[in-house]
């Protein structure tokens, strides 16, 4: 039926063409926000091949139009798309306003000029290129309010306003990354050099991307066409002294005038044992490879996008962080054991982590005339994580952990054609997920076999109330079914009081184990409201949101000894969803001379799922503290602040602060892994006479975290005395100095060269970082000097 309709539309246009057509439309495209003309806006007439671009004054002319009814699509790279219907009787002149900032507020990623529109919550391609050699979480921490929780040096997770893991969604190329994000030692499987732009979404906009994002949504921009015949290459080569690391990255972008494009991106990274101020840290090398291929074809009314990416990393884990029992850990923490330093090499031995991620997606959109734009997407992901431990004999070659997570995602989005001042979107999604822990490890499964079906839907609406005031709202609901097959230890099943409560899950009982098939179902509802108010150079954003998050597999099913942390971790089948109410306020002041960003927030979470130490159990390996996932009430408060002054003579100064306080309201204590107060001060100088040259010096100070949970007291049978395990002792504050010299050569022909020399930890400071899970075992890295060459042509 739809096709027949379409056919009729074509027929109508065909007949229109046969008329005498001499009318013209002269238009001007204006950025609604700053009233400046928009260059490069694409104006096309629906159903025809007519398409023009606006010039530098924002002006375009469409000629040879006939009398009658036309539907125009006006779109711009940085803006949304607008559909306008026009009745042509005479030659027309018309002005079109594109909603640049309402559409992309809080998620502006393709920043045109750093000086004019710094978005405090995003990183553009240039910043990301400079960070190509860093891991994703570290690159992201350049956004005020984002920290990293590290395991050693190569594995890092982003922490947003004190939250991580399942509470932070990474949305890559329109696909929610499904990558075992529940593990503290599992980093997002993203290579920094593969990203075009990244932003932090908040409020109503963020809720469009998915549920669970109590902490925030990291949005990685998909590739967009430029509608011109263009071919671009980018080479990045970087070498660094610490770990004798190298990075090589190549990116090809090919675009055609008709809206088709393809690309190819490849990066390889390798480094050996890292050096701190005392010596080489044994087994801290890493190897990382990634490949991605975007392709697509965008027309005014329809289009298709395809994306493939493969990521693989092999991370060595600090050799002397490998411990057998709590006594080993006490010895380490109390400093009874001197750290082992070895020689430099590139070998990665056990213990190590081997992860891979494959992603494929296909999405299409089609604009149904006078109705809306409909998008459909299918994505496929496979995430595999292997951990190799130090084991007896030949078992060294077998991973101790071997997990595979396969996800099939379907989503559909409908953006209604509406007037200029409002926007309505509907979306639904279905994710089917299969988790398979390989039994060949010979080690009890960390996370059991399960499959889950997650179905969700949302409605989003935005409305411009006046030139200054606009409003956005999203409501979202999900139904999550989890079917697991899990062997519990019989003694554990009994100790957790599951015998009576969950007898219906029992499939079969064996000598020491019990096979169960838990079937769980969660229903969540979340809503967010954002209010934006602009007055000249002042912008105010208020976000109110209520987000429900269903428990993740670790919170439900963990059972047993975590060798790397020397603790027994227990999930709970009794877990209920957690409910977060967040009030966030953002103030932005922006002129040519000054940029100020101030963002306080309050996040109240009831039934907050936290891993809490509850006691000690004794095994033949010794004593182990027991950490249980429990539900408590939590309060997160904080503020992010950033001030940049642009002085004359190319001098620029920035000062930033992040403060977050987290309190367990039920037990009246702090939570672990909360970033301490930190501040950084940046000074940048560029030269009018020598454009392209710039210097930058940055000093950052991380205070000591004063709010830590209590330490554990453990009875040591060997010495028959109580011992304190100072697992929550926070290291002292530290001041790090870094600097950058950068020179961008004058463009010669099509090619552009950029040379960048940077140095981190200039003073070679010996320090420990509270946000490193391996801080007990070694100091952080010493001085690192990096040289990076970038060629674009």
Partner 1 sequence: MKKITKNLFVLSLLVFGLQSCSEDNDRPEMINEEEVITSVRVTLTSGNETVSMSSVDLDGDGPNPPVVNVQGNLGSNKTYTGSIRFLNEAESPAEEITEEVAEEADEHQVFYTFSGGISSVIATDTDSNSNPLGLTFNLTTNDAGNATLGFTLRHEPKKPNAGILDAGGETDVEVLFNVVVE
Q: Which of 323, 423, 554, 740 binds partner 1 (CB under 8 A)?
A: 323
Count CA atoms closer than 13 A to 320's CA, side-chain side.
Answer: 19
- Give the nearer residue to partner 1 in terms of CB position, either 510 or 536: 510
Q: Give, as one character, the DSSP assignment of residue 476.
A: E
Count CA atoms closer than 13 A to 428's CA, side-chain side.
Answer: 3
- What are the backbone dihedrals phi and psi of residue 621, each rounded to the nearest 5 degrees, phi first? -85, -5
Q: Which of 81, 412, 451, 669 binds partner 1 (CB under 8 A)?
A: 451
- Give the nearer residue to partner 1 in terms of CB position, either 421 or 449: 449
* Interatomic CA distance for residues 669 and 608, integer angstroms: 14
- Give the nearer residue to partner 1 in terms of CB position, either 17 or 618: 618
* Interatomic CA distance for residues 619 and 272, integer angstroms: 37
- Give the nearer residue to partner 1 in terms of CB position, either 167 or 775: 775
SS3 content of the chain, % helix, strand, coil (to 5): 10, 55, 35
Burial class (CB in 10 A: 0-12, 13-18, 19+), 591: exposed
Quick check: 415 and 372 in contact, CB under 8 A?
yes
Q: Smallest distance from the beta carbon of 508 to partner 1, in angstroms?
A: 9
Binding mask 486-525 for partner 1 (x = CB under 8 A): -x-xxxx--x-----------x--xxxx-x----------
- Give the nearer residue to partner 1 in terms of CB position, either 441 or 705: 441
Q: Which of 39, 485, 628, 726 binds partner 1 (CB under 8 A)?
A: 485
- Give the nearer residue to partner 1 in terms of CB position, either 323 or 771: 323
Burial class (CB in 10 A: 0-12, 13-18, 19+), 309: buried
Alpha carbon separation from 315 to 122, 154, 400, 782 (Å, rounded): 28, 6, 15, 19
Binding mask 672-711 for partner 1 (x = CB under 8 A): ----------------------------------------
* Interatomic CA distance for residues 370 and 771, integer angstroms: 53
Q: Smallest distance from the beta carbon of 765 to partner 1, in angstroms?
A: 26
Sorted by sequence, the CB contacts under 8 Å of residue 322 that are 6+ apart come out as 351, 389, 390, 563, 564
Q: Which of 79, 202, 238, 443 binds partner 1 (CB under 8 A)?
A: 443
- Give the nearer residue to partner 1 in terms of CB position, either 330 or 660: 330
Alpha carbon separation from 342 to 25, 680, 784 (Å, rounded): 74, 34, 19
Q: Which of 232, 322, 422, 666 binds partner 1 (CB under 8 A)?
A: 322
Interface region with partner 1, contact rule CB under 8 A, candidates 13-21, 134-142, 301-309, 458-466: 301-309
Element containing residue 406 per DSSP (H, E): strand 401-416
Asked if residue 367 binds partner 1 (CB under 8 A), the reply is: no
Interface region with partner 1, contact rule CB under 8 A, candidates 28-36, 204-212, 334-342, 662-670: 334-342
Q: Which of 537, 617, 645, 710 binds partner 1 (CB under 8 A)?
A: 617
CA dihedral over 616, 617, 618, 624, signed as positive or negative: negative
- Give the nearer residue to partner 1 in terms of CB position, either 103 or 402: 402
Q: Which of 50, 254, 395, 574 binds partner 1 (CB under 8 A)?
A: 395
- Give the nearer residue to partner 1 in terms of CB position, either 12 or 495: 495
Interface region with partner 1, contact rule CB under 8 A, candidates 216-224, 322-330, 644-652, 705-713: 322-330
* N-terminal to C-terminal alpha carbon distance within the chain: 48
Quick check: 725 and 709 in contact, CB under 8 A?
no
Quick check: 478 and 491 in contact, CB under 8 A?
no
Q: Smallest distance from the beta carbon of 286 to partner 1, in angstroms?
A: 22
Q: Which of 19, 85, 331, 763 binds partner 1 (CB under 8 A)?
A: 331
Q: Considering only residues 102 through 121, tell me which ones interact with partner 1, judged by CB under 8 A.
A: none
> Nearest CA to 486 among 423, 418, 554?
554
Q: Smallest distance from the beta carbon of 300 to partner 1, in angstroms?
A: 13
Binding mask 180-209 for partner 1 (x = CB under 8 A): ------------------------------
Interface region with partner 1, contact rule CB under 8 A, candidates 113-121, 268-276, 341-349, 441-449: 441-449
Following DSSP, what letter does each residue of 411-423 receive, concatenated?
A: EEEEEE---TTEE
Interface region with partner 1, contact rule CB under 8 A, candidates 168-176, 336-344, 577-585, 700-708: 336-344
Interface region with partner 1, contact rule CB under 8 A, candidates 165-173, 341-349, 483-491, 697-705: 483-491
Hunting for tokens 């991605």 — which residue is that?
292
- Give the nearer residue to partner 1 in terms of CB position, either 83 or 261: 261
Asked if residue 3 binds partner 1 (CB under 8 A), the reply is: no
Q: Smallest distance from the beta carbon of 611 to partner 1, in angstroms?
A: 17
User: What tokens were used for 755?
Assistant: 């040379």
Interface region with partner 1, contact rule CB under 8 A, candidates 25-33, 331-339, 521-529, 704-712: 331-339
Counts of helices then strands in the chain (DSSP H, E): 9, 45
Asked if residue 278 binds partner 1 (CB under 8 A), the reply is: no
Hunting for tokens 């991370």 — which residue is that?
315
What is the three-class DSSP state of 457? Answer: strand
- Give the nearer residue to partner 1 in terms of CB position, either 153 or 564: 564
Q: Smallest distance from the beta carbon of 258 to partner 1, in angstroms?
A: 7
Quick check: 425 and 417 in contact, CB under 8 A?
no
∠758-762-763 over CA atoms, to 5°?
180
Quick check: 260 and 294 in contact, CB under 8 A?
no
- Give the nearer residue to partner 1 in terms of CB position, either 460 or 557: 557
- Give the nearer residue to partner 1 in terms of CB position, either 555 or 569: 569
Q: Which of 560, 600, 692, 699 binds partner 1 (CB under 8 A)?
A: 560
Q: Residues in the chain, how many?
A: 793
Sorted by sequence, the CB contacts under 8 Å of residue 6 that are 6+ apart come out as none
Binding mask 397-416 for partner 1 (x = CB under 8 A): -------x-x-x--------
Q: Which of 360, 677, 730, 791 binds partner 1 (CB under 8 A)?
A: 360
Asked if residue 8 binds partner 1 (CB under 8 A), the reply is: no
Asked if residue 374 binds partner 1 (CB under 8 A), the reply is: no
* Interatomic CA distance for residues 784 and 123, integer angstroms: 23
Alpha carbon separation from 406 to 362, 381, 403, 432 (Å, rounded): 17, 6, 10, 8
Asked if residue 365 binds partner 1 (CB under 8 A), the reply is: no
Asked if residue 341 binds partner 1 (CB under 8 A), the reply is: no
Quick check: 459 and 191 in contact, CB under 8 A?
no
Burial class (CB in 10 A: 0-12, 13-18, 19+), 90: exposed
Asked if residue 657 binds partner 1 (CB under 8 A), the reply is: no
> Nearest CA to 388 among 419, 440, 350?
350
Asked if residue 16 binds partner 1 (CB under 8 A), the reply is: no
Q: How many chain residues bind partner 1 (CB under 8 A)?
A: 70
CA dihedral over 310, 389, 180, 553, signed as positive or negative: positive
Q: Smallest distance from the beta carbon of 316 to partner 1, in angstroms?
A: 16
Binding site for partner 1 (CB under 8 A): 258, 260, 295, 297, 304, 306, 308, 320, 322-325, 327-328, 331, 336-337, 340, 358, 360, 362, 378, 380, 382, 390-393, 395, 404, 406, 408, 434, 436-437, 439, 441-445, 448-449, 451, 485, 487, 489-492, 495, 507, 510-513, 515, 560-561, 568, 617-622, 624, 717-718, 720
């Amino acid at each position: 039926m739809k096709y027949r309709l379409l056919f009729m539309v074509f027929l109508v246009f065909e007949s229109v063409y046969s008329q005498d057509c001499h009318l013209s439309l002269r238009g001007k495209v204006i950025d609604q926000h700053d009233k400046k003309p928009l260059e490069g806006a694409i104006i096309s007439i629906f159903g025809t091949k007519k398409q023009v671009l606006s010039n530098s004054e924002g002006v375009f002319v469409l000629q040879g139009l006939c009398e009658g009814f036309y539907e125009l699509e006006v779109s711009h790279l940085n803006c949304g798309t607008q559909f306008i219907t026009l009745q042509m009787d005479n030659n027309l002149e018309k002005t079109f306003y594109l909603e640049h900032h309402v559409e992309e507020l809080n998620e502006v990623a393709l920043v045109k000029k750093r000086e004019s529109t710094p978005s405090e919550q995003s990183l553009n391609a240039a910043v990301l290129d400079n960070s190509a050699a860093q891991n994703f979480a570290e690159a992201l921490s350049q956004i005020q309010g984002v920290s990293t929780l590290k395991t050693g040096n190569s594995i890092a997770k982003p922490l947003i306003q004190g939250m991580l893991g399942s509470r932070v969604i990474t949305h890559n190329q329109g696909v929610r990354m499904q990558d075992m994000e529940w593990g503290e030692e599992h980093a997002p499987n993203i290579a920094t050099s593969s990203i075009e732009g990244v932003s932090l979404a908040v409020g109503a906009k963020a809720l469009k991307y998915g549920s669970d994002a109590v902490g925030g949504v990291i949005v990685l921009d998909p590739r967009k066409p430029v509608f011109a015949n263009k071919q671009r290459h980018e080479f990045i080569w970087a070498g660094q002294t610490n770990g004798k690391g190298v990075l090589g990255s190549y990116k090809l972008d090919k675009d055609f005038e008709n809206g088709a494009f393809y690309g190819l991106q490849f990066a390889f990274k390798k480094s050996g044992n890292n050096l701190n101020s005392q010596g080489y840290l044994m087994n801290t090398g890493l190897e990382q490879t990634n490949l991605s291929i975007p392709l697509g074809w965008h027309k005014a009314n329809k289009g298709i996008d395809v994306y493939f990416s493969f990521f693989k990393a092999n991370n060595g884990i600090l050799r002397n962080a490998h411990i057998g029992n709590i006594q080993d850990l006490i010895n380490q923490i109390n400093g009874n054991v001197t750290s082992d330093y070895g020689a430099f090499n590139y070998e990665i031995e056990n213990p190590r982590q081997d992860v891979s991620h494959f992603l494929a997606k296909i999405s299409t959109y089609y604009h149904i005339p006078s109705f809306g734009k409909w998008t459909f997407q299918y994505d496929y992901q496979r995430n595999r994580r292997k951990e190799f431990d130090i084991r007896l004999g030949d078992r060294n070659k077998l991973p101790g952990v071997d997990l595979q997570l396969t996800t099939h995602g379907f989503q559909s989005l409908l953006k209604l054609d509406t007037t200029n001042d409002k926007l309505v979107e509907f979306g639904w999604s279905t994710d089917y997920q299969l988790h398979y822990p390989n039994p060949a490890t010979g080690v009890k499964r960390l996370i059991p076999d399960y499959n889950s079906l997650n179905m969700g839907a949302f409605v989003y609406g935005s409305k411009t109330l006046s030139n200054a005031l606009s409003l956005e709202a999203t409501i979202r609901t999900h139904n999550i079914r989890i079917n697991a097959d899990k062997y519990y230890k019989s003694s554990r099943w009994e100790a957790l009081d599951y015998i009576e409560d969950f007898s219906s899950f029992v499939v079969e009982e064996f000598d020491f184990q019990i096979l169960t098939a838990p079937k769980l179902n969660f229903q969540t509802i979340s809503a967010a409201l954002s209010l934006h108010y602009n007055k000249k150079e002042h912008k105010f954003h208020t976000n109110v949101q209520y987000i429900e998050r269903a428990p993740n597999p670790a919170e439900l099913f963990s059972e047993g000894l975590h060798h790397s942390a020397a603790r027994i971790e227990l999930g709970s089948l009794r877990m209920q969803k957690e409910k977060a109410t967040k009030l966030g306020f953002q103030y932005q002041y922006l002129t040519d001379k000054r940029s100020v960003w101030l963002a306080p927030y309050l996040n109240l979470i009831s039934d907050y799922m936290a891993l809490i130490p509850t006691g000690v159990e004794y095994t033949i390996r010794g004593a182990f503290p027991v950490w249980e996932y429990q539900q408590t009430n939590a309060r997160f408060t904080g503020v992010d602040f950033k001030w940049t002054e642009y002085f004359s003579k190319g001098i620029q100064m920035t000062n930033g602060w992040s403060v977050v306080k987290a309190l367990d309201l039920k037990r009246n204590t702090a939570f672990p892994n909360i970033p301490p107060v930190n501040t950084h001060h940046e000074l940048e100088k560029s030269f009018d006479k020598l454009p392209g040259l710039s210097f930058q010096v940055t000093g950052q100070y991380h205070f000591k975290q004063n709010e830590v949970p209590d330490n554990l007291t453990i009875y040591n049978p060997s010495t028959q005395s109580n011992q304190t395990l100072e697992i929550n002792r926070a290291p002292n504050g530290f001041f790090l100095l870094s600097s950058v010299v950068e020179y961008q050569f004058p463009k010669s022909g099509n090619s552009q060269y950029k040379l960048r020399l940077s140095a981190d930890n200039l003073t070679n400071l010996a320090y420990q970082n509270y946000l490193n899970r391996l801080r007990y075992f070694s100091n952080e890295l010493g001085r690192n000097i990096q040289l990076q060459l970038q060629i674009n042509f």
